[in-house]
Amino acid sequence: MIKGAGIGAGIVAVLTILWKIIKVIAEVVAKVLYYLGLWVPLLYLAYGGILKLIFKEFYLFSADTNSIIYLLGFILTIFISIIITVKNLIYKPFKKLFGRKKDVVEYKGDKLKNDTPEAPKIYKSRVNEGVIVYEYKNRYDLYEEREDKLVLVATEFKDKKIRD
Euclidean distance between CA atoms 107 and 100, whole angstroms: 21
* Domain shared by 18 and 66, yes or no: yes
Q: Among 98, 117, 139, where does a domain finish?
A: 98
> Which H or E element spans position 8?
helix 3-35
| From 4-18, 45-59, 107-121, the region with the lowest mean pLDDT | 107-121
Instruction: Count structural domains, the chain.
Output: 2
Within this chain, do residues 129 and 89 fall inside the same structural domain, yes or no?
A: no
Within this chain, do residues 45 and 28 fall inside the same structural domain, yes or no?
Answer: yes
Q: Kindly report, residue by residue over 126-158, the tens digit of the pLDDT.
A: 877 788 888 888 888 999 988 778 889 989 888
What's the confidence (pLDDT) of residue 107? 53
Which pTM was predicted? 0.52
- End position of a domain, from candidates 83, 98, 113: 98
